[in-house]
């Protein structure tokens, strides 16, 4: 399952929820330096969907706030419903 995310680095706490257009908002405390915010965002997405970090891959947007990630469908349990919950905030 591919998901568009919008990363907000430098947040006071890590949070996954809300929408920015069609993208899921992922706020992370890590700064956007040397890929730290990207890695933190991927870990946060994995945690929000209840999968291990290795089941989340970056597809596009390595240096952008707007990214596309892919979650391994075999590891997901009811992924689309969880995505709707998270986008609702």
Helices (H), the chain: 36-49, 79-88
Residue 71 confidence (pLDDT): 94
Q: CA-CA distances (angstroms) from residue 88 to 23, 35, 60, 74, 85? A: 11, 27, 24, 24, 5
Domain boundaries, position 81: 2-88
Q: Confirm whether pTM is higher than 0.85.
A: yes
How many folded domains does the chain comprise?
1
CATH code of residue 20: 3.30.1200.10
Question: How many residues would you count in the chain?
Answer: 89
- pLDDT per residue as tens digits for the range 49-84: 999 999 999 999 999 999 999 999 887 878 888 888
Q: For residues 21 and 49, what is the distance between their CA atoms, to the nearest angstrom?
A: 20
């Amino acid at each position: 399952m591919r998901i568009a995310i919008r990363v907000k680095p430098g947040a006071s706490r890590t949070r996954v929820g809300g929408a920015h257009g069609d993208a899921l908002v992922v706020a992370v405390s890590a700064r956007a330096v040397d890929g730290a915010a990207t890695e933190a965002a991927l870990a946060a997405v994995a945690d929000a969907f209840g999968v291990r970090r290795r089941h989340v891959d970056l597809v596009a947007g390595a240096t952008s706030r707007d990214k596309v990630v892919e979650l391994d469908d075999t590891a997901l349990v009811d992924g689309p419903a969880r995505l709707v919950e998270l986008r609702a905030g």
